[in-house]
Chain A
């Protein structure tokens, strides 16, 4: 398969639209012959990341690149950044507001889910410089 890339915008605090890009990405991948188990992992990571941008981050974007040997998802936002990444990665740690908790978020499981589901996970963030996540999913032997 030839390499393919696409980006989608994510808006701060947009509860209604957040997650829609990951649904589009899932539908796009379903039209290929990529293993459904990999598609689910990509979709889960994209969705968790997208919601995090809307809920904690700022404005940003999610990009998918489908290469011959791997899928790459990049999620960037211009929000407040994460002061203590090790703490943010811990299961159960959350700074979600009551508004988002009422809607089913704030379990403190999103980043651990992403880490678990991606073959490679990289997060770069510091206070004032936004949050930048890159995840890779190997396609070797699956395409």
Chain B
């Protein structure tokens, strides 16, 4: 699934520049725990989180995350968007909750980090 499709499914805003719009993403993880994200097979996955911190983006970079969705319409600070742009990680913002966001993506065919549906 391309980032552009995920944007449609979540009625999301794309907060970063568009260079990585063609990233192919097949699996998703929802978490607000940094070590959880780092422990999982989160490489090239979509991270769904409510945590808008610099460390969430650093964790995404370290884990090799393919894209990040901020839920509940939260607006991240400028330096967070800048850091994601520098690392070429697309950031999305959706008004949906973590539950509804996960459900919509699951319904569209996404799997969990371990490939389970």
Contacts and interface: CB of A to CB of B under 8 A. Distances in A.
Interface of A: 15-16, 18-20, 22-23, 26, 36, 40, 43-44, 46-48, 51, 103-105, 107-110, 112-113, 116
Contacts of A48: 35, 38
| Interface magnitude class on chain B | 20 to 34
Nearest to B36: A107
8 contacts: A19-B59, A22-B58, A26-B62, A40-B62, A47-B62, A51-B55, A103-B51, A104-B33
Contacts, number: 66
B64 interface: yes
B110 interface: no
Given A20-B58, A22-B62, A40-B62, 18 more contacts: A15-B54, A19-B58, A19-B62, A23-B62, A23-B87, A26-B61, A26-B62, A40-B63, A44-B38, A46-B62, A48-B35, A104-B55, A107-B35, A108-B35, A109-B35, A110-B35, A113-B38, A116-B39
Contacts of B43: 40
Interface of B: 32-36, 38-39, 43, 51, 53-56, 58-59, 61-64, 87
A13 B71 CA distance: 28
B103 to A, nearest CB: 23
